[in-house]
C-alpha cells in the first residue's frame, strides 16, 4: 500500500493518515467508505477531478468503496442531463462506483422523519417570519442574534405546522423549519440554521412529490449517515459547516461510529477557468464555443482537447492533499500531460507553417517510401508507418534561417540538415518573392544518406521533420493560450472588470493549411500523437468530421531552445554579471519589533477583576523571580496559579515549575481545562523534584507527564513502572554510544567532515536506545569526546 502514496514527499497526507488511524483503532471495523457528492447543476471541472481522484483513490487504496451521490436537494437548478455528463466524466477518469449510485432526493422521506425527531426533541421549530426578518435576527459577526417570536412554539404546534408545510398548505416562504441551537454562537451557521424551506417547484426526479426541500447542512450529513459513509471529505470552505454536520447527526441520533467530515484545500489551478459563474457569461457571449471549449478547464474540455485521463490522475498525486489553500502552477499540469503522452503517443510528422523545399537532384515524378518507427528508441512502443518521399517537400518555416542566430542548428544557406528518416539535404538556393519573403528553398540531397544515416562520418547537427508536398494531408490546427488576461490590480471598491472583457483575443490560434503525413488518415480518430518537434495533438472530436482534419494541440513540447532574437532582438545572449534583483520580496520588510509586552488583554482583565490574581502576579515576579510572561500565564486563571502554588509546596524551584506548567502542561492540554487533568500541582511538584534530584532525566519526565495527563498516578511510581530511571553510569552510557556510532558509520563520517548538527541525531539515537532515561548533557559530552578524538 505504501507504493500508492503518491509522488510528493515521503509522507502521506492527513486524510489518509486519519483513515489509517481509524483502521488501527478499529473505529469503523476496518470499513472505509468515501463519496463524491456533486450537485447535478453544471459540468465537472479539474477541481472536481481532483476530488474524484482523492475519494475514489482512497477507496481503492484502502479496499473500501466510494459512492457517487447526487446532492440534488435544490429543485431549481438540477437536471438529469448534468447527472449523466458527470457519470461520463468520472468513468472517463477511470473510476467506477459499482452499484453505489445514490440520489439525495431518494432520501427525502427519511430526512423528513429525522426532522420530526428533531422537532419532538424540541431542537427544531417552524419559523413564520419572512426571509428578511430571519436574516436580521441572525445578528452580525459582532452582535448575537435575536430570537424569533416563533422560537418557543410548542412541539405539537411545530409538528402540526411542519406536516402542513409538507402537505402543501403554504406558499413558498411562508414558513421554514429551523434548528434551535444558539443565537449567540460565534459560528454564524449555528444561529438557528434553516433546515427546510417551502418550494413549490418541479424536481427533475421527484416531480411534484415534495414541496419542502432540505438545505445542504441538514441534508448532507444525513446522506452520509444513511449510506454509512466513514470519511466525508470536502473542501476548506465547509470548515465552519462541520459543527452543524455534527450537531445534526448527534441530535438525530446517529451514534458513533458515524461519518465525520474532513476538509482539504482542493485545487486552484493557475490560468484555469472553471467556475460556472465564470463560464456561463463566456458561453452566452459566444466567446467560447461551449462548456467543452478546449480553453476551459472543465473535464469535458480536457477530454475534447485530448488530455489523457491518466494525466489528471498524475496531477492529483503531484498536487497532494493539504489544508493550505494554494495555487498550482500550470507547468505542473503540462508536466503531467507530457509525462503520460511521451510514453504513449505515436510520433508522426507535421508541418504547421510550411515552407516549400525542392530537392533539385531528386528525379521529378519518382518517389520512395520510408519505413519510420512510431516511437523513438528510448520509448517502449512498437510499430512503424510508411512515409512517402518525393522531390517537393515542406519543412517548417522556422527551421530555416538566412541569418541564423548563434546556436541555430537547422537549415541555413549552404548548410546541411537531416530530414528525419530520409536524407541529408543542403540548401543551395533561396527563392524569394517581390517582397523579399522566402517562398522556396532549392536543395540537393546526399544520395548516400538514405534513411538519414551519414556515410562519411561527418556531423549533421540538425534534424527536422518534413512532409512530401504531393502526399501531404491538409489540416487545421488549433493552439490554445490562456483564456483570460490578468486582471489589473484594482483600487479597493472599484467595480470588478466583467469577465467577458478579460478574454485573451489570442487565446485561440487557428492554423490552416497545415501539412501532415498521410499515414494518419487511417488511424483511430482518438489517437493522440506527438507531432515530432512541435507537441502533442489529437483530432478535435467535434469539428474533425468527414474529410476535414482538425487537430487540437494538447500541450507543446518542452524546449530548451530559445531564439535569442525572439526575446531581446539583441542577437547573442549576453550573460549578465549582475544577478537580477529579487523583485518579489521587498528588501526592507518592516521588522517592527514587538514593543508590546507579550501579555494578553484577556489575562489582564482577569487580574483586574480578581485582586488575588493581581497579587500573585506581582509576588511571582518580585519574590520568586519569574519573568513577567511566566507570571502572566500563571495568573490568567485561578487554576494555573493554584496548580503552581500546590507544586511549590513539594518542590521549591519556582522557575522550573513555572516552565513545566507554562509550556509542558499547557502543551498537553488540548481542549481540556487545567482542572480536568487527572493530576494536580503536588504531583507535578514531585515530578520536578525527581528531575532536580537526578533520578529521572527531563526528557523521560516528559513521557511521565504525558502518562500522568492520560491516567494520572504518582510520578515516582510511574518512573519505576515505565523503567525510566536515569542512567548516569558512564560505562553503560559508553556502551550505548559505541553501538549507536557503529550503527551510523556514514553519518559519523559526515560529522567528522564538518556537519556538526548531526550531533543531534546521535544524541537522539542514544536517547531513543535508553528510552529517554539517559542524561542528555552527559550523552552530548561523551559523544563529542568520542567523535572529536
Q: Binders of RNA among 473-512, rule CB under 7 A?
A: none
Quickly list DSSP for 440-487.
EEEEEE-TT-GGG--SS------EE-EEETTTPEEEEEEEE--SBPPP
CB of 391 to RNA, least distance (A): 19
**What are 189's three cell numbers?**
451557521
Which DSSP helix (H) or strand (E) runs through 592?
A: none
Map the footprint of RNA across residues 649-678, applying CB under 7 A: 656, 659, 662-664, 666-667
Contact residue for RNA among 35, 45, 48, 138 (CB under 7 A): 138
> Smaller CB distance to RNA: residue 687 or 767?
767
Is residue 571 involved in binding RNA (CB under 7 A)?
A: no
> Smaller CB distance to RNA: residue 716 or 761?
761
CB of 276 to RNA, least distance (A): 10
Strands (E), 236-299: 260-264, 268-269
Residue 139 · residue 146 · CB < 8 Å = yes
Contact residue for RNA among 34, 230, 298, 530 (CB under 7 A): 530
CB of 770 to RNA, least distance (A): 10
Is residue 559 involved in binding RNA (CB under 7 A)?
A: yes
How many residues bind to RNA according to rule CB under 7 A? Answer: 133
Is residue 594 involved in binding RNA (CB under 7 A)?
A: yes
Map the footprint of RNA across residues 42-81, applying CB under 7 A: 71, 73-74, 77
Stretch that binds RNA, among 384-392, 528-536, 708-716, 725-733 (CB under 7 A): 528-536
Is residue 359 involved in binding RNA (CB under 7 A)?
A: no
Contact residue for RNA among 506, 600, 622, 675 (CB under 7 A): 600
Instruction: Please report how many Cα atoms fall inside a 13 Å half-sphere around the Cα of residue 547, on the Cβ side.
Output: 2
Residue 206 · residue 190 · CB < 8 Å = no
3-state secondary structure of 160: helix
- H helix count then E strand count, the chain: 26, 27
Stretch that binds RNA, among 146-154, 215-223, 515-523, 617-625 (CB under 7 A): 215-223
Is residue 588 involved in binding RNA (CB under 7 A)?
A: no
Stretch that binds RNA, among 521-529, 558-566, 618-626, 676-684 (CB under 7 A): 558-566
In 439-567, alpha helices (H): 564-567
**What pairing do the DSSP bridges indicate for beta strands 392-396 and 466-468?**
antiparallel
**Residue 725 bridge partners (DSSP):** 696
Q: Interface mask (CB under 7 A) for RNA, residues 103-132, using x and -?
A: --------------------------xxx-
Is residue 625 involved in binding RNA (CB under 7 A)?
A: no
**What pairing do the DSSP bridges indicate for beta strands 550-556 and 535-539?**
antiparallel
Stretch that binds RNA, among 302-310, 360-368, 499-507, 774-782 (CB under 7 A): 774-782
> Smaller CB distance to RNA: residue 8 or 251?
8
Contact residue for RNA among 505, 596, 609, 753 (CB under 7 A): 596
Strands (E), 119-211: 124-127, 176-179, 194-198
> Smaller CB distance to RNA: residue 73 or 390?
73
Count of beta carbons in the 10 Å neighbourhood of residue 571? 11
Which DSSP helix (H) or strand (E) runs through 385?
A: strand 384-390
Contact residue for RNA among 435, 584, 671, 788 (CB under 7 A): 584
3-state secondary structure of 552: strand
Residue 56 · residue 66 · CB < 8 Å = yes
**What are 480's three cell numbers?**
490554445
Is residue 23 involved in binding RNA (CB under 7 A)?
A: no
Stretch that binds RNA, among 370-378, 438-446, 477-485, 616-624 (CB under 7 A): 370-378
**Which one-letter DSSP state was computed for residue 663?**
I
Map the footprint of RNA across residues 388-427, applying CB under 7 A: 407-410, 418, 420-421
Helices 46-61 and 14-25: crossing angle in degrees, nearest 10, is 30
**Residue 367 bridge partners (DSSP):** 390
**What are 212's three cell numbers?**
419542502
Is residue 568 involved in binding RNA (CB under 7 A)?
A: no
Contact residue for RNA among 322, 384, 504, 784 (CB under 7 A): 322
3-state secondary structure of 528: strand
Amino acid at each position: 500500500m505504501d507504493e500508492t502514496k503518491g509522488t510528493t514527499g515521503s509522507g502521506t497526507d492527513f486524510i489518509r493518515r486519519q483513515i489509517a488511524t481509524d483502521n488501527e483503532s478499529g473505529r469503523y471495523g476496518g470499513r472505509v467508505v468515501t463519496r463524491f457528492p456533486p450537485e447535478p447543476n453544471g459540468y465537472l471541472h479539474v477541481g472536481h477531478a481532483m476530488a474524484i481522484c482523492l475519494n475514489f483513490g482512497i477507496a481503492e487504496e484502502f479496499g473500501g468503496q466510494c459512492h457517487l451521490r447526487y446532492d440534488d436537494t435544490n429543485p431549481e437548478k438540477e437536471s438529469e442531463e448534468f447527472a449523466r455528463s458527470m457519470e461520463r466524466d468520472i468513468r472517463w477518469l477511470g473510476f467506477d462506483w459499482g452499484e453505489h449510485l445514490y440520489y439525495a432526493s431518494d432520501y427525502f422521506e427519511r430526512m423528513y422523519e429525522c426532522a420530526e425527531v428533531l422537532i419532538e426533541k424540541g431542537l427544531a421549530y417552524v419559523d413564520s417570519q419572512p426571509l428578511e426578518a430571519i436574516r436580521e435576527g441572525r445578528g452580525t459577526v459582532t452582535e448575537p442574534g435575536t430570537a424569533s417570536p416563533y422560537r418557543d412554539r410548542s412541539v405539537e404546534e411545530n409538528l402540526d405546522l411542519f406536516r402542513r408545510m409538507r402537505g402543501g398548505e403554504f406558499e413558498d416562504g411562508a414558513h421554514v423549519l429551523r434548528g434551535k441551537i444558539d443565537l449567540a454562537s460565534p459560528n454564524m451557521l449555528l444561529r438557528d440554521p434553516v433546515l427546510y424551506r417551502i418550494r413549490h417547484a418541479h424536481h427533475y426526479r421527484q416531480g411534484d412529490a415534495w414541496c419542502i426541500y432540505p438545505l445542504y447542512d441538514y441534508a448532507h450529513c444525513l446522506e452520509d449517515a444513511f449510506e454509512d459513509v466513514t470519511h466525508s471529505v470536502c473542501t476548506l470552505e465547509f470548515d465552519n459547516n462541520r459543527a452543524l454536520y455534527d450537531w445534526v447527526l448527534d441530535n438525530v441520533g446517529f451514534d458513533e461510529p458515524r461519518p465525520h467530515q474532513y476538509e482539504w484545500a482542493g485545487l486552484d489551478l493557475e490560468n484555469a477557468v472553471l467556475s460556472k459563474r465564470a463560464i456561463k457569461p463566456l458561453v452566452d457571449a459566444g466567446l467560447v464555443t461551449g462548456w467543452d471549449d478546449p480553453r476551459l478547464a472543465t473535464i469535458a474540455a480536457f477530454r475534447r482537447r485530448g488530455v489523457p485521463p491518466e494525466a489528471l490522475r498524475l496531477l492529483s498525486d503531484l498536487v497532494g492533499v493539504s489544508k493550505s489553500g494554494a495555487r498550482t502552477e500550470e507547468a505542473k499540469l503540462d508536466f503531467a500531460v507530457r509525462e503520460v503522452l511521451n510514453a504513449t503517443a505515436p510520433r508522426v510528422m507535421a508541418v504547421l507553417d510550411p515552407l516549400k523545399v525542392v530537392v533539385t537532384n531528386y528525379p521529378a515524378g519518382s518517389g520512395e517510401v520510408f519505413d519510420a518507427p512510431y516511437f523513438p528508441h528510448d520509448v517502449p512502443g512498437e510499430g512503424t508507418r510508411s512515409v512517402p518521399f518525393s522531390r517537393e517537400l515542406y519543412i517548417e518555416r522556422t527551421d530555416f534561417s538566412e541569418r541564423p542566430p548563434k546556436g541555430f542548428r537547422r537549415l541555413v544557406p549552404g548548410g546541411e540538415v537531416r530530414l528525419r528518416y530520409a536524407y541529408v539535404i543542403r540548401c543551395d538556393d533561396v527563392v524569394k518573392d517581390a517582397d523579399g519573403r522566402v517562398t522556396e528553398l532549392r536543395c540537393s540531397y546526399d544520395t548516400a544518406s538514405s534513411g538519414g544515416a551519414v556515410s562519411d562520418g561527418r556531423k549533421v547537427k540538425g534534424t527536422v521533420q518534413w512532409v512530401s508536398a504531393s502526399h501531404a494531408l491538409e489540416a487545421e490546427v488549433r493552439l490554445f493560450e490562456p483564456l483570460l488576461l490578468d486582471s489589473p490590480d484594482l483600487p479597493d471598491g472599484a467595480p470588478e472588470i466583467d469577465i467577458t472583457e478579460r478574454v485573451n483575443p489570442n487565446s485561440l490560434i487557428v492554423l490552416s493549411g497545415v501539412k501532415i503525413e498521410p499515414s494518419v488518415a487511417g488511424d483511430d480518430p482518438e489517437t493522440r500523437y506527438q507531432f515530432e518537434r512541435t507537441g502533442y495533438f489529437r483530432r478535435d472530436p467535434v469539428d474533425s468530421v468527414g474529410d476535414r482534419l482538425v487537430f487540437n494541440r494538447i500541450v507543446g513540447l518542452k524546449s530548451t531552445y530559445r531564439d535569442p532574437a525572439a526575446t531581446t532582438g539583441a542577437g547573442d545572449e549576453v550573460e549578465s554579471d549582475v544577478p537580477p534583483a529579487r523583485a518579489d520580496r521587498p528588501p526592507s520588510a518592516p521588522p517592527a519589533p514587538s514593543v508590546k509586552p507579550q501579555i494578553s488583554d484577556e489575562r489582564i482583565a482577569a487580574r483586574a477583576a480578581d485582586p488575588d490574581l493581581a497579587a500573585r502576579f506581582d509576588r511571582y515576579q518580585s519574590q520568586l523571580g519569574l519573568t513577567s510572561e511566566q507570571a502572566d500565564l500563571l495568573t490568567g486563571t485561578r487554576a494555573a496559579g493554584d496548580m503552581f502554588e500546590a507544586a511549590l509546596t513539594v518542590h521549591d524551584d519556582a522557575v522550573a515549575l513555572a516552565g513545566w506548567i507554562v509550556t509542558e502542561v499547557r502543551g498537553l492540554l488540548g481542549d481540556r481545562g487545567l482542572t480536568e487533568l487527572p493530576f494536580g500541582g503536588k504531583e507535578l511538584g514531585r515530578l520536578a523534584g525527581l528531575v532536580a534530584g537526578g533520578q529521572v532525566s527531563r526528557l523521560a519526565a516528559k513521557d511521565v507527564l504525558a502518562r500522568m495527563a492520560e491516567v494520572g498516578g504518582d510520578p515516582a511510581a510511574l518512573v519505576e513502572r515505565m523503567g525510566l530511571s536515569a542512567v548516569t553510569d558512564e560505562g553503560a552510557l559508553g556502551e550505548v554510544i559505541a553501538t549507536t556510532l557503529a550503527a551510523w558509520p556514514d553519518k559519523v563520517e559526515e560529522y567528522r567532515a564538518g556537519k556538526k548538527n548531526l550531533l543531534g541525531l546521535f544524541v537522539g539515537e542514544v536517547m531513543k536506545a535508553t528510552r529517554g532515561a539517559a542524561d542528555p548533557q552527559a550523552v552530548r559530552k561523551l559523544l563529542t569526546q568520542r567523535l572529536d578524538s
